[in-house]
Amino acid sequence: MTFSNRILITGGSGFIGMHLLNKLLIDSYQIACIDLFYNQAYIKKYGNRVQLFTGDLLDKNFLNSCMVDFAPNYVYHLAGSKSRTNTISEFKTSNEINYLGTLNLFESLLACPDLKLVTILGTIEEYGNTDSPFIENSRELPNSAYGLSKLSATKLAMIFNQQFKFPVVVMRPSIVFGPNQGIDMFIPALIKALLTNHNFKMTEGYQLRDFIYIEDLTDALIKVLICNGLEGEIINIASGFSIKIKDIALQIAGLIKNTDNLKFGELPYRDSEIMEYAVDIFKASKLLQWHPKIKLSDGLKKTIEFYQKDLKDET
C-alpha cells in the first residue's frame, strides 16, 4: 500500500457511491467514506474494509478532523441533495447542501499536503434551457433548484482551481440508472410499479433524455485515477444517445410484459420542462479515453433482474 492510494468518497452509502466503492475495492486502495448515516447492512459489508466517517458536510470541525485523520490523495465528492422540486425552501436547502457543503469540503482539503485530485459530481441539469447538444463550453441556464445549486458548486470548483491551484475536475453525468437505485428516480420507480402491477402515471413522454448505466459512469470516474491534465476541466459523462421518455417506458414494459399499467398523459409536463435534450461526449473520449460500453437494453435488463430478485427476497 502506498500513500498515494488513499481515496475519500463523500456520499459513500448512496447509489453511485456504493457502485464506485465496489469497483475500487477490487484494487489495493485505502478507502474512507463520509456520509450522514450508514445502515447495518452497509456497516456489515464494508466496515472492516473501509474507514467510515459519520457526519455532516456543513460541520467544518468534523471535516477538518476527517482530513487530519485520513489525509486523502484522491476525493470523489458524490454527496448532495438531489431533490427536483422548485419550492422556495428547496432553493435554500439545495444551496446549503450542494454549494455550502462543497465549499466546506474544499476548504478542509486545502490543508491536505498530498492531495492529487478532487472529482466532484455535477449534472447535465446545469445546462438547463441552453440549446442542445450540451457541450462543456455551452452557456448554462439551469431551470431548477438542483441544477442551480450544482452549477454554483461547479463555478466554485473552477474558482478554487484558478485561485488556489486546487486540483479539481467536474464530471457532469446524464440520468444514471442501475441496480439498487432508490425509487425516487424514474426508471426504478417505473420498474417497481410494473413488477407489482401498480399503475404508473406519467406525462405523454415526448421529452428526450439521455440515460447512462451505472457501470459506465463508475468506469469514467475511475479513469481519473490514471489520466493526467484533468485539473480545471468540466467533462460530460453520458451515453451520447437520446431517447423519448415514452419509448424507454414502453421498452421497460415490454421486458416486464406489462403495458397495461402504463398511464401516459396522466401527469402534466413541468412548467420548465426541457424537451430537447442531447449530450456531447467528445471531451470524455479525448481526455479520459472513455466510451460507454453498456447498451441501454442490456442495462435495463440487468436493472429489472435486480428488482425482480429484490421483490422476491421481500416475500
CA distance 80 to 60: 16
H or E segment to which residue 243 belongs:
strand 242-244
CA distance 61 to 59: 6
CA distance 216 to 221: 9
The domain 3-177+210-239+279-295 is placed in CATH, from the list 2.130.10.10, 3.40.50.720, 3.40.50.1100, 3.40.50.1110, at: 3.40.50.720
All three cell numbers of 179, joined, read 441496480
- Nearest CA among 55, 19, 15 for reference residue 35: 55
Over 60: is that where the pLDDT of 194 sits?
yes
Query: For residue range 35-44, what is the model confidence (pLDDT) as tens digits?
Result: 999 999 999 9
Tell me the mean pLDDT in the region 97-109. Answer: 97
Contacts with 263 (C-beta within 8 Å, 6 or more apart), sequence order = 199, 200, 201, 202
Give domain limits for the chain.
Answer: 3-177+210-239+279-295
Over 80: is that where the pLDDT of 315 sits?
no
**pLDDT for residue 38:** 96
Tell me the mean pLDDT in the region 12-25. Answer: 97
CA distance 12 to 181: 14
Share of the chain above pLDDT 70, in %: 98
All three cell numbers of 116, joined, read 492529487
Q: How confident is the model at residue 94 (pLDDT cuts 50, 70, 90)?
A: very high
Over 60: is that where the pLDDT of 2 sits?
no
**pLDDT for residue 84:** 74
Query: For residue range 216-254, what is the model confidence (pLDDT) as tens digits?
Result: 999 999 999 999 999 999 999 999 999 999 999 999 999
Q: How confident is the model at residue 4 (pLDDT cuts 50, 70, 90)?
A: low
Over 90: is that where the pLDDT of 1 sits?
no
Residue 188 sits at φ, ψ, to 5 deg, of -65, -35
Predicted structure pTM score: 0.95
Over 50: is that where the pLDDT of 193 sits?
yes
**pLDDT for residue 83:** 77
Over 70: is that where the pLDDT of 270 sits?
yes
Residue 183 or residue 66, greater confidence: 66
Residue 195 sits at φ, ψ, to 5 deg, of -65, -25
**pLDDT for residue 148:** 96
SS (H, E, C) 11-58: CCCCHHHHHHHHHHCCCCCEEEEEECCCCHHHHHHHCCCCEEEECCCC
Query: For residue range 117-157, what is the model confidence (pLDDT) as tens digits?
Result: 999 999 999 999 999 999 999 999 999 999 999 999 999 99
